[in-house]
Structure 1
Amino acid sequence: MSGTTWKSALVALAAAVVVTGVAGCADSGAAKPGGSPSASPGSRDREQAAKAVRAAYEKTAAAKSAKVRMRVVVSGGRAAGSSTFTGVRKWGPSVADLKVTDSTYLAAVPGAPAETRVVAAGGAAYTDVGAGRTSLTGGRRWLKVDLEGPGAGGGIVPQLTAGLSGVNQDPAEELGLLAKSSTLRPLGTAQGSGARAYGGDLPGGRHLEVWIGPDGYPQRTVLTTDTDGSLTRLTTTSTDYGTEADVRTPPAGDTIGFAELLQKFTKGRGGEAGRG
């Protein structure tokens, strides 16, 4: 595997990990938003929007899980591409079991499967490398990736994922931040579903739009992050709140750490992975 191909593989795996929104992220507790956004004359619409978003926050935090379809599109930067994730996501603490499909990251890696699976829990994510790639991993099927500490491969993952780090958020926490945003505003009602849309800016160069259904749960969110020339758009459709989320990590004997795999590769290639 050439240095360029190896970097493509790292991008694919790192992108999968970050987009799940659970890896390398300790449970934040999603502190309950208090009060309303800064009031000003004529701010009735914003106050009503904050009330609706706070109510959605309460329901989301209590549900703790949902079935999701997440579509991420990244333009610019070093990790441009797109992927779709479907499965179950849980928060408080954060875990997920997701199938990765329609991924330009995977398509860029020769021999990589058309789809794969990511299981995330305990601040780490496990990516199924596929039966055809186990010769590179010592026969082990799962690659474990941490976003912090020695398992992160000396900072390579954050470098390659660039703006993708902005999507690593608890969905309830996002709503709590939106409820307090000074730029929060109503965006209208979606035809057909009856969902009401709201949008506003979040810390860290992010913008969130949410469609809240008649039942008070978020049906759809669009989180846009603009970081260092990399624009990330993450669209999440959520259903079946409170669904069972029995996420189990792979056996330790069938996993290999990111840092260990990187060390084996660089040792065998004389540092070739750092070029190209």
Structure 2
Amino acid sequence: MSVWKRAGIPVVTAAVLVGAAGCQDGDAGNKKATGGPELQSRDAVTKVVQAAYKKTAEAKTAKVSMTMTMSGSAEAAGTMELSGVMGWDPTLMDMTMKAPKGMAGAGADAAMPEQIRMKWLDDAMYMDLGTKAAEEMDGKRWMKMDLGAMAEASGDKQLQKQMTRGLEDMNQSPAQQLALLLDSPNLKHVGSQKVGGVEAQHYKGTLTFQDMVKSNKSLDVLTEKERKELVDQAEKSGIKGYDTEVWVDEAGYPVKMDLGMTMPQGTVKITANYSDYGVKATVVAPPAAETFDFMKLMEELGAAGSAGTGAGAGSPGSGA
């Protein structure tokens, strides 16, 4: 349980990081650029974003520096800083997360490493949980979570469908965020603005949750009934729609993106700065001798629990 507690925050972080769709209410991100009043026409905006999408999709990798802020009642409320390399088509990641500021237990929990390295490779997430985890897990400090294998082992067809959809969503990239932006009926040019000393053009657009569902090809596995349930749940949760902001530099690449997600439990806001598109990104899985499989661990714990229950079922005073 102590191992899982340490793993929980990076798992949530990774899920949001690689699958974030930028959902927030319509007022979010309503910032004014510092550039002049001359704005591009809708046709010009579309051409710029389309060109940026093509260049970004072809690059396949980039360095990223990201700040993720979670607020509300979630245990993981606070601010995280992540940096490293990420790739898309195929999805891969090698990033380091600094100890979250303000999150429950952060800093006070000596068992939690000050930095957590996260790798994503072949539909599996690896997390370095530090020396404390190694002490508890026979020298194994890396935890592996293979979502596809977990779904298949469950034998639950619905779960497999949901997990497959989730893996496809995890192939999100700056390019896909640009593609979503192109689907916005109110895509617009906000103005010019310097980002990290680089001149960039600022664009934004919004989509309703229903529009987002239609645009997301990975949701094609859903039946019409399931789609309606998804939209109804989102509306009940108070998610009004999606808003994405992007800053494109003179070379035609997105150098910054603002994304967010608003839920009843709180909000998640992400600011990502990108650079070095096309950088070489070789992600290698940790040594097998230093890695334990989360699914196998759960199976062993379940088997041990069943054995313990069976052994005590007929004993006096067991309460069975």
> CA-to-partner distance for each residue in 1:117-155, whole Å, 9 max, x for gaps?
11111111100111222122232121012445527998x
Alignment of 1:178 with 2:188, yes or no, is no
3-state DSSP of counterpart to 2:247: strand
Corresponding residue for 1:135? 135
Corresponding residue for 2:116? 116
Single out whichever of 52-61 and 198-207 deviates more from structure 2.
Answer: 198-207
Alignment of 1:224 with 2:260, yes or no, is yes
> CA-to-partner distance for each residue in 1:222-276, whole Å, 9 max, x for gaps?
11122344311111111111111011111333211223334556757x99xxxxx
3-state DSSP of counterpart to 1:107: coil
Structure with the greater alpha carbon radius of gyration: 2
Corresponding residue for 2:48? 52
Unpaired runs of at least 5, structure 1: 24-43, 155-165, 272-276
The verdict on how the C-alpha distance between 1:170 and 1:144 changes in structure 2, with shifts beyond 3 A counting, is same
Corresponding residue for 1:18? 15
Alignment of 1:99 with 2:96, yes or no, is yes
TM-score (norm 1): 0.74
How many residues are aligned here? Answer: 238
**How many Å apart are 1:187 and its aligned residue?**
1.5
TM-score (norm 2): 0.65
CA distance in 2 between counterparts of 1:57 and 1:99 reads 26
Corresponding residue for 2:227? none
Single out whichever of 67-76 and 133-142 deviates more from structure 2.
Answer: 133-142
> CA-to-partner distance for each residue in 1:126-185, whole Å, 9 max, x for gaps?
00111222122232121012445527998xxxxxxxxxxx98722211111111211211
Corresponding residue for 2:234? none
Give the aligned residue type for 1:180: D
Alignment of 1:200 with 2:205, yes or no, is yes
Q: How does 1:160-175 map to 2 (within 5 A)?
A: 169-175=172-178
Corresponding residue for 1:64? 60
3-state DSSP of counterpart to 2:41: helix
Structural RMSD (CA):
3.2
> CA-to-partner distance for each residue in 1:55-112, whole Å, 9 max, x for gaps?
1101100111111111111122534233211111111101011111142457264411
8 Å CA contact 2:3–2:129 kept in 1: the answer is no
CA distance in 1 between counterparts of 2:46 and 2:64 reads 24
Unpaired runs of at least 5, structure 2: 21-39, 155-168, 214-240, 310-320
Considering fraction of residues, name the structure with more helix: 2
Q: 2:285 aligns with which of 241, 249, 259?
A: 249
Single out whichever of 47-56 and 226-235 deviates more from structure 2.
Answer: 226-235
The verdict on how the C-alpha distance between 1:206 and 1:263 changes in structure 2, with shifts beyond 3 A counting, is farther
Corresponding residue for 2:81? 84
Identity fraction in percent = 33
Give the aligned residue type for 2:91: S
